[in-house]
Amino acid sequence: MNEYLVEIENERLSFFTPAGEVKALNDVTIRLREGEVLGIVGESGSGKSVTAYSLMGLTAHPGKLIGGTLDFNGHRINDMTEKEMRRMRGNEVAIIFQDPMTSLNPVYTIGNQIEEVILLHTDKKKKEARARAKELLELVGINEPEKRLKQYPHELSGGMRQRVMIAIALACEPKLLIADEPTTALDVTIQAQILELMMELKHKLGMAIIMITHDLGIVANICEKIAVMYAGRIVEYGTADEIFYDPKHEYTKGLLRSIPRLDATKHERLIPIEGTPIDMLNPPAGCPFAPRCGQCMKICLREMPPVTEFGEIHYTQCWLNQKQMMEGEAANE
């Protein structure tokens, strides 16, 4: 049996737009074990959502998978039919989005919507489904579940709607939960409730989570592994401690330097990453971060950096790291 629940190898995916090919994903590799929490961080447009959706077979038109293999829970996603993927979604992998309002149907009650998912994916009868819906609302910490089942989405607060979305996602006890900026639309005190809930459920149900976010605080708090994306590439991958205490890639280092910290004890000027995010329609030839990188060398402008491995898990894609690694090895010989 495969030791990984998720194994994405060198995924390449492009959107063929009228203005040209947008290479949204380039050689993306991700491995995730059962019950692990992976955080994907990166700026808007870096490919976080596209990576996660492609794993569910949900690539929007005009997107196309053009290379690599995607394996999930014993399935090769590349070879699956739409029908098979539909069975897999909801059963083995579920997703929650930033804005629960867009995924809940405003004209059906909360109860109807949860039951529908249960009826679709299990062989439970109507009455059992109702009981299970109530159970799920309790599981996600919604009080007065009987009353809530009869209410419509607009009658609930944002935090409660997100709890309902989680309840729906959990209806079939998926092996993997993909959360795409699930708390961005929520207030911090409500965000804390939702993150707490997700961690509790992970421990209770043993599911793996892919958490997509731009908030480094969130990944530091709940993720074991972190993928840092920039312009459609994973520029650095490692454990939370490796990324935060031993970052190797210039973009990761820059990100960590640029955020103000709540526990700072004196005012220090922030060190921003200069420049602007790249235009994905006209990416530079070599390293996509080169135009903003303080350590840029000639080769960075010409050729894509190779993978440099620092340990079993930790790797980057950077010429400087490659050079340092080779010099280090030469020195050891």
Ligand X SMILES: Nc1ncnc2c1ncn2[C@@H]1O[C@H](COP(=O)(O)OP(=O)(O)O)[C@@H](O)[C@H]1O
Site string for ligand X, 282-301 (x = CB under 6 A): --------------------
Taking alpha carbons only, the member of 131, 50, 117 closest to residue 89 is 117
CB atoms within 10 A of CB 228: 25
Please say which residue, 133 or 216, places its beta carbon nearer to other proteins.
Answer: 216
Is the CB of residue 148 less than 8 Å from the CB of residue 109? no
Q: Which of 17, 157, 258, 324 binds ligand X (CB under 6 A)?
A: 17
Q: How far is CA 2 from the centre of its chain?
A: 22
Helix ranges, 33-125 (H): 48-55, 82-91, 100-103, 110-121
Q: How far is CA 306 from the centre of its chain?
A: 23
Residue 189 makes contact with other proteins by CB under 8 A: yes
Residue matched to tokens 């074991």:
224
Site string for ligand SF4, 250-279 (x = CB under 6 A): x-----------------------------
Q: Which of 42, 145, 254, 288 binds ligand X (CB under 6 A)?
A: 42
- 250 contact choice in Mg ion, other proteins, ligand SF4, none (CB below 5 to 8 Å, kind-dependent): ligand SF4
| Stretch (H or E) spanning 71 | strand 63-72
Cβ-in-10-Å burial (0-12, 13-18, 19+) of 74 comes to exposed
Q: Which of 14, 49, 183, 321 binds Mg ion (CB under 5 A)?
A: 49
- 7 contact choice in ligand X, other proteins, ligand SF4, none (CB below 5 to 8 Å, kind-dependent): none
Site string for Mg ion, 195-214 (x = CB under 5 A): --------------------
d(CA 88, CA 244): 35
Shortest reach from residue 238's CB to ligand SF4, in Å: 16
Segment lying near ligand SF4 (by CB under 6 A), choices 51-59, 138-146, 191-199, 297-305: 297-305
* Structure token digits, residue 134: 């109530």
* DSSP secondary structure of 257-313: HHS--TT-SS-----PPPS----TTS--SS-TTGGG-TT--HHHHHSPPPEEE-SSS
* Structure token digits, residue 197: 């809930």
Segment lying near ligand SF4 (by CB under 6 A), choices 16-24, 152-160, 172-180, 318-326: 318-326
Question: Under the rule (CB under 6 A), what is the footprint of ligand SF4?
Answer: 249-250, 287, 289-290, 293, 295-297, 300, 305, 318-320
Binding stretches for other proteins (CB under 8 A) = 43-44, 157, 159-160, 187-193, 195-196, 214-221, 240-241, 244-245, 254-256, 258-265, 267, 269-274, 276-277
Binding site for ligand X (CB under 6 A): 15, 17, 22, 24, 42, 44-50, 60, 63, 280
Binding residues vs Mg ion (CB under 5 A): 49
